[in-house]
Amino acid sequence: MKTITIKDEIYRGLRNLKMEGESFSDVIARLLARRGLKLDDYFGALGDNPILEELEEASRKTRESARLRI
């Protein structure tokens, strides 16, 4: 399981597409399947790209700032 950060408008769009009993992962998988895409095709696509560390740090800071607002 992974935590991702998405824009508020994307979250609202996914929430509106959710069917009863579906998780957000189910919605994303359904949308990808309609396009003929599989998440497995993208696992490891970035390899050891240094951008991954930057993304991880930005995600950590976002989660930390969200905790501070509570």
Asked whether the CA dihedral 30, 17, 1, 8 is positive or negative, the reply is: positive
pTM, rounded to two decimals: 0.48
The residue extents of the domains of the chain are: 8-69
Contact 68, 8 (CB under 8 A): no
CA distance 40 to 33: 12
- pLDDT tens per residue, range 6-65: 999 999 999 999 999 999 999 988 888 877 766 676 777 777 777 878 888 888 888 888
Predicted pLDDT of residue 69: 60
